[in-house]
Structure 1
Amino acid sequence: MKEELEYSNTLMRTQQECALDGILVVSEDGRIVSYNRQFVDIWKLPEEILASRSNERALEYASRLVLNCEAANAVVRGLYENRSSSSHDEVQLRDGRVLDRYSAPLEAADGRFYGRVWYFRDITAQKRAAERIRQANERLRATVSQLKEQKKQSGILSEMREILQACDSTSEVGSIVRRSMLKLFPHASGALYMMAESGRELEAVDAWGPGADVAGPRSFPTDDCWALRRGRLHLVDEPGMGPVCAHLRKGPRAPSACVPLAAKGEVLGILHLRVEEGAPDGIQARTTGQIGRLATTIGEYLSLSIANLRLRERLAEQSIRDPLTGLYNRRYMEEALAREISRAERNRTPVALVMMDIDHFKPFNDRYGHPAGDALLESLGAFLKTNLRGGDAACRYGGEEFILFLPDTSLEGARRNMERIRKGIGSLRISHMGLTLPPVTLSMGVAVYPDHGRDMGALIGAADAALYRAKKEGRNRILPAAG
């Protein structure tokens, strides 16, 4: 019997020492019954505490090593209050280690309680490995998400570029940019500005997002934008840090950016973007980063597209404009007048056609020279462009002859409008080479579709005949076509 007991104790001690876990056995009255070397290595308990066999002293010492000792000790107290309970949790130590802690009651077969067994295992390496795996998976997910986002952005940019290439004029650009920006930056507002004809101001073409009014007035001087001053992207990624563009109605309380649009040294406009003030911080940071990465690419797309469209518009404009007067040329007049007659025929509305001629232009040229004659023609063209109604058109027909057509205008309406033009030209003062040129007068003949003709040739013939009569009857007058 004695040998069996000795064998049993030896077996138990050997099992404890060979175990991977640190093992502590505590009696019912709080006395340390046994422990193994792994337990000592894990907790590094001083010899005097171990020699005292006091679980209370051991717990007090261990508490100083635990990061959140209150929570850890609460578990211990709960187990001693409910002696039949078991527990399994993790304990974070101040030195960075993590212990897996398990406790079970030491009970006899008949339910008698002898104490409690504690098991401790250092799982720091496993936790760190798991954390590395988690971080790697997180980076992988972020990379996959970023690749998906880049693919989406690339698709949107490609679509925007294709549509921009199919545009006929710069007036179509604004809606295309708005649609693309809302897809690329759903948490941002913005506006597209283009350079005005004066070359000194930017004019709003389109705006989008809930904060579409933050970019300021419909137009502003070029010096109000830091992007144009610097000639590159101006990004304010933290409100209050860095200069703020004067064209903003109020200082931004969220990240914003201005992208200059330019090509071949010509400033074309700016693209303004800003993150919504109510967007979450994570969204703000991500969107700001996207603005920084995409702004230059978007600016290059827009700059090239707008420059090409403006070149096309200039070439198209040059093909239909008289270079001296700036009025439409004969080619445009024939095409436009044919369209107006067809429209008038469908809508059963009149179209007035005016043949106009400068009185005594040849003697004027002979006396003051051809450059003075050109100055007169140029001033007349500028006057007509400024003083005609919105839907009316003036064309240089040849030499000093001009044709004007006025849609939806009766004979009497045309005579009233042309009388205003005739008087205005009579009071026009033109300077050339320091000399004030004498005033000139105009003779005009007016014909109206369909009363004086149902096609372009008949209308021009009728108006030309009326002009001839005006010349014959003394010039400086307006006469209607016969019939």
Structure 2
Amino acid sequence: MINAASRLRAGYMLALLMLLLNLSVPWLGSGWVSRAESRLDWQRHVITESELTLSALKDGETGQRGFVISGRDDFLAPLFQGYVDVDQRLKFFHAEFADDPQLAPMVAQLQILVQQQREYFQSVIELRRREGISAVTDRIAAGEGKRLMDGLRRQLGEISGVLEHRAGGFQAAVEQRERVLSMAVTLIALLDVLILLMLFFFTFRIIRETQQSERHLQEITERLSREVQISQLRNREISLLSLMAQALHSTSDQAECRDIIARFATQLFPHKQGSLFLYHPSRDVLEKAISWGDWSSDRDLFRPDACWALRRGQSHLMQQAAQDLICPHQHDHPQLEQGYLCVPLMAQGEPIGLLSLESPDRHGCELAEAFAEQLSLGIANLSLRETLRQQSVIDALTGLHNRRFLDETLRRELLRATRKDGSVAVAMLDVDHFKRFNDSYGHEAGDLVLRQVALEMKSHVRASDLVCRFGGEEFALVLPEIAFDDAVARCEALRLAVSRLQVRYGGKPLGAITISLGLAFFPQHGREGEALLQLADGALYRAKNQGRNRLCIHTEQGSASGQDGRQSRVDESAV
């Protein structure tokens, strides 16, 4: 395109130059030929003057002869007129050929001959007048006049020959210049035609290349537009993936996590059906967690070996049902012919779930894998946070909540009771003679005792009650919204149930297990959680000091029985 444009510009410059040549060559050539023709015309004029000189000499000779014959003076008029004409032409010849090395001597010789002829004529005329015709006849018969006239003719003939020769050269020059001019005009015309053809060629070539460039530019523009749209779509997808990742990292609830995934899945795959399966805690089956679009025909539950993606540990794309492998869990899907993609969700090298998507294209596969990667991270992080949260508030040995959870929950329950003007019972309990189990049977036996006591405590409390391991062999109970007598009865029932436990370790019975309890109430005994725990703990110590295997209730005067203030009796089976 650039070379063609440069050539076109050069062609137009050449066309402009040719236009100047078309104007200047004929004008300059005609002047050049005209100058040669002017020299030729002048040469012919000089030849004519030479011929007129000869004619004037002849006229003079004729006049002289007529005077000699007739003796009349009027016959001398042509002679004198011839003298005038010859003198004028001689002056012309002298002026014209003064610097001519060839003709100047000839003109000088002609002047001499003319002068000799005039002297001869003058002598003949005087002789005629003086002696008559007879004397003149003898003089003329001597042939001097003829000799002079022949010399003049010869001299003028030589001058005319030189002039004719030069005229021939001028004629040849004119003809040559005319031929050169004609050839130049013809050549210029051919060049004009050639340049016009060249201009037409490059013009149409540029037009064709311009059209091609426009089409190419249009294609580039359309491709850029498509790429911009794709880029905008990719940016939107990246933004949605980023927002989803932030949301997943910010949630701590499984239901909220599933709602987040469903919302972003419908935005990332608006025209595709899909579903998400997660491993059951037993790790033997996968359960449907969420689905979007018309994906209801999927199995809600299937084994891991029913999916090729989980078997191979990588994405599995099924495009042609007649050729590709079909996952068993997709066999009954009504839109199986459209194809599907299964992407395993991996965390720490282990599968945690499966993403199924309807017939994605190449980019859809990449997006689905990126989506699955974000889901894997989010779900794994949520599970990890749940595990850490459980570990932070659950005692690993007994499965009960720990002291940290007790502090948070007790504070919340006391605030709720304050708003509702309710009551809360706080009990502290301890396994009696626990060191005996560790010393006699080992720490594993002691751990077994603690777990059995924890199980018995869970079975004797309401769903709204809180059972915590306070530390060592000491436990805490928080009973919200309970009456005084009900709390005492529940604690007594728990004490009796523990005393009836029969725990065996290593095939041997561990003996009787008893507990001591201390009880305090909100708001009668205190309004702060720490204070209530201390009061209940103080009542517990009094129970131990009074013989263990009993319940003591905090009072302003000291420990009392559950109802009438007398010392709580010890169960008959207590040791």
**TM-score past 0.5 threshold:** yes
TM-score normalized with structure 1 length: 0.59
Counterparts of 2:542 and 2:303 in 1: how far apart (Å)?
52
Is 1:232 equivalent to 2:314 in the alignment?
A: yes
Q: Secondary structure at the match of 1:165?
A: helix
Is 1:394 equivalent to 2:467 in the alignment?
A: yes
Output one character per residue of 1:251-306: Cα deviation in whole Å (capped at 9) or x when no partner: 35244443322222333333344x4xxxxxxxxx5x45454222221122222233
Shift of 1:444: 2.6
| AA at the equivalent of 1:227 | A
Is 1:264 equivalent to 2:345 in the alignment?
A: no
Q: What's the RMSD between the two structures over aligned residues?
A: 3.8
The equivalent position to 2:240 in structure 1, one of 156, 176, 180, is 156
Is 1:292 equivalent to 2:365 in the alignment?
A: yes
| AA at the equivalent of 2:257 | V
Shift of 1:322: 3.2
- Label 1:305 to 1:415 Cα distance change in 2 as closer, same or farther (>3 A): same
- Label 1:365 to 1:256 Cα distance change in 2 as closer, same or farther (>3 A): same
- Label 1:457 to 1:139 Cα distance change in 2 as closer, same or farther (>3 A): closer
Match of 1:147 in 2: 231
| AA at the equivalent of 1:233 | S
Structure 2 gaps of 5+ residues are: 1-211, 557-575
Q: Is the 8 A contact 1:214 1:249 kept in 2?
A: no
- Label 1:288 to 1:418 Cα distance change in 2 as closer, same or farther (>3 A): farther
Is 1:446 equivalent to 2:519 in the alignment?
A: yes
Which one has the largest radius of gyration? 2
| AA at the equivalent of 1:228 | L
- Label 1:212 to 1:415 Cα distance change in 2 as closer, same or farther (>3 A): farther
Shift of 1:311: 3.3
Q: Is the 8 A contact 1:357 1:400 kept in 2?
A: yes
| AA at the equivalent of 2:327 | V
Question: How many aligned positions are there?
Answer: 342
Shift of 1:420: 5.7
Is 1:457 equivalent to 2:530 in the alignment?
A: yes
Output one character per residue of 1:119-157: Cα deviation in whole Å (capped at 9) or x when no partner: xxxxxxxxx999999998876665444333222212211
The equivalent position to 2:392 in structure 1, one of 293, 306, 319, is 319
Match of 1:344 in 2: 417
Shift of 1:210: 4.5
Structure-to-structure mapping, 1:23-422, within 5 angstroms: 142-168=226-252, 172-205=256-289, 207-211=290-294, 213-217=296-300, 221-238=303-320, 242-246=325-329, 250-254=332-336, 255-273=339-357, 275=358, 287=360, 289-381=362-454, 384=457, 388-415=461-488, 417-418=490-491, 421-422=494-495
Counterparts of 2:468 and 2:477 in 1: how far apart (Å)?
6
Counterparts of 1:388 and 1:333 in 2: how far apart (Å)?
15
- Worse-superposed segment, 228-237 or 128-137: 128-137
Counterparts of 1:436 and 1:288 in 2: how far apart (Å)?
68
Match of 2:98 in 1: none
Q: Is the 8 A contact 1:239 1:253 kept in 2?
A: no
Greater fraction strand: 1
Q: Is the 8 A contact 1:190 1:215 kept in 2?
A: no
Q: Is the 8 A contact 2:307 2:328 kept in 1?
A: yes
| AA at the equivalent of 1:462 | L
Q: Secondary structure at the match of 1:188?
A: coil
Counterparts of 2:492 and 2:231 in 1: how far apart (Å)?
69
Q: Secondary structure at the match of 2:248?
A: helix
Q: Is the 8 A contact 2:306 2:327 kept in 1?
A: no
Counterparts of 1:249 and 1:452 in 2: how far apart (Å)?
67
- Worse-superposed segment, 344-353 or 223-232: 223-232
- Label 1:210 to 1:264 Cα distance change in 2 as closer, same or farther (>3 A): closer
Shift of 1:373: 0.6
- Label 1:299 to 1:134 Cα distance change in 2 as closer, same or farther (>3 A): same
Q: Secondary structure at the match of 2:343?
A: strand
TM-score normalized with structure 2 length: 0.51
Counterparts of 1:140 and 1:131 in 2: how far apart (Å)?
14
Output one character per residue of 1:299-319: Cα deviation in whole Å (capped at 9) or x when no partner: 222222333333344334333
Shift of 1:201: 4.3
| AA at the equivalent of 2:483 | S
- Worse-superposed segment, 175-184 or 416-425: 416-425
| AA at the equivalent of 1:360 | H
Counterparts of 1:220 and 1:416 in 2: how far apart (Å)?
49
